[in-house]
Structure 1
Amino acid sequence: MSIRFPLQSDRIRLRPFRAGDRDAVHEVYGDPEVMRYVAYGKPATAAEAAEMVAGYIRHQEEHGYAFWAVEDAATGAVIGDAGFEAREAGAEFGYTLARAWWGRGLATEAGRLCVAAAFGELGLPRLTGVVDPANPASSRVLEKLGFAFSRELEAYGRPHREYLLRAPSGEAAPDRR
């Protein structure tokens, strides 16, 4: 179970995080507006962002997948993350992009790369995603990727909506462009 990196589209690249990404990650995760719907809804300190990067690196080593750095293909700048975290219910898909990159379809683009890797090289049977109900834009991203609403639940200490996407049976992952 390994992926050949980078995962790439015309506009972005996904690759495993490196320790040197700490400052770029803090620029994204330290923005209260970016983080208001992510996980616990609070911006990260520089130390917390560094620990998240270290955790993503460990998760990649342990599981063969993690949240990966999203780079602008033109400049190589880290503009966010997209990928998966191992959960009891299966791999949980998520993404976070710096505010300057919102509204360009990049979350969906990163999601397509992730879904293709999940059901292709990784061979995962299903993906989940959780969204704060006050964030309809993220619900739309998941729906564009083929996720379907599953249930209401509590996650990260607050109400969320869970979405589910199952691997296609007996065929390659569909191209959801």
Structure 2
Amino acid sequence: MIPTLRTERLEFRPYRPEDEDAFVGLLRDEEVCRWMGQDRIPEPDIRTLFRAILTDVYPTRRFDVWGLWHEGGYAGHAEVKKTGNVDGHELVTALAPRYWGRGLGAEAVRGLLRHAADDLGLDEAYGMVGAENTASLALCRRLGFRHLRDVVGDDGSVTKMLVISTRDAGP
């Protein structure tokens, strides 16, 4: 079972069926998609993805995934999952734009790092951040992530592969 996690201001809660519309809204947001480095996905495909989290990911514990909640409102999405880029686990967070600029991104990543260390026994974790996402790159630097290499997509886009010790996350 995926645990519920808490930080000072965030609750990481496994998704429930009634969270589907919030999840769809997040992944249909143009700004969120831009900074996640993906095209907007058609709504039916996002709904299929959400249902797969409930019916496939959770029952088999393929990876850990949560909705992020702040003061009772859906604030975003978080994951810890194996990455195909290296032999390790990647941290994924996406906040709804109305929650940007409040320090919740750093808080979410710190919560994921604590879970990775304490519950999963991981010594390090990875992040993949688009080279143009200066706000997320600055956040990662403040937390102590180190740049490993650039990954260049078929379309020429550059993603920064970062790594951090799960025990060394900064303020």
TM-score tier (shorter): 0.7 to 0.9
Shift in alpha-carbon separation, 1:159–1:61, aligned structure 2, 3 A: farther
Counterpart for residue 10 of structure 1 = 8
Counterpart for residue 79 of structure 2 = 83
| CA displacement, residues 26-61 of structure 1 (integer Å, 9 cap, x when unaligned) | 111111112102142x22332222233234443344
Counterpart for residue 23 of structure 1 = 21
Q: Is the 8 A contact 1:39 1:156 kept in 2?
A: no
Q: Is the 8 A contact 2:131 2:160 kept in 1?
A: yes
| CA displacement, residues 75-96 of structure 1 (integer Å, 9 cap, x when unaligned) | 2x22211222222321111111
Residue 146 (1) aligns with residue 122 (2): no
Q: Which amino acid aligns with 2:158?
A: P
Residue 130 (1) aligns with residue 124 (2): no
Identical residues among aligned pairs (%): 25
Counterpart for residue 44 of structure 2 = 47
- Give the helix-richer structure, 1 or 2: 2
Q: How many residues align?
A: 167
Q: Secondary structure at the match of 1:37?
A: helix
Unaligned runs of at least 5 residues, structure 2: none
Q: How does 1:84-99 map to 2 (within 5 A)?
A: 84-88=80-84, 89=86, 90-99=88-97
Shift of 1:166: 2.9
In structure 1, C-alpha distance between the alignment counterparts of 2:79 and 2:105, rounded to whole Å = 11
Cα RMSD over matched residues? 2.2
In structure 1, C-alpha distance between the alignment counterparts of 2:152 and 2:68, rounded to whole Å = 28
Q: TM-score, normalised by structure 1?
A: 0.82
In structure 1, C-alpha distance between the alignment counterparts of 2:146 and 2:53, rounded to whole Å = 26
Shift of 1:10: 2.8
Q: Secondary structure at the match of 1:124?
A: coil
Q: TM-score, normalised by structure 2?
A: 0.85
Shift of 1:156: 8.3
Q: How does 1:29-68 map to 2 (within 5 A)?
A: 29-40=27-38, 42-57=39-54, 58-63=56-61, 65-68=63-66
Shift in alpha-carbon separation, 1:39–1:66, aligned structure 2, 3 A: farther
In structure 2, C-alpha distance between the alignment counterparts of 1:70 and 1:145, rounded to whole Å = 19
Q: Secondary structure at the match of 2:41?
A: coil
Moved over 4 A (4+): none
In structure 2, C-alpha distance between the alignment counterparts of 1:17 and 1:114, rounded to whole Å = 16
Q: Secondary structure at the match of 2:132?
A: coil
Q: Is the 8 A contact 1:3 1:122 kept in 2?
A: no
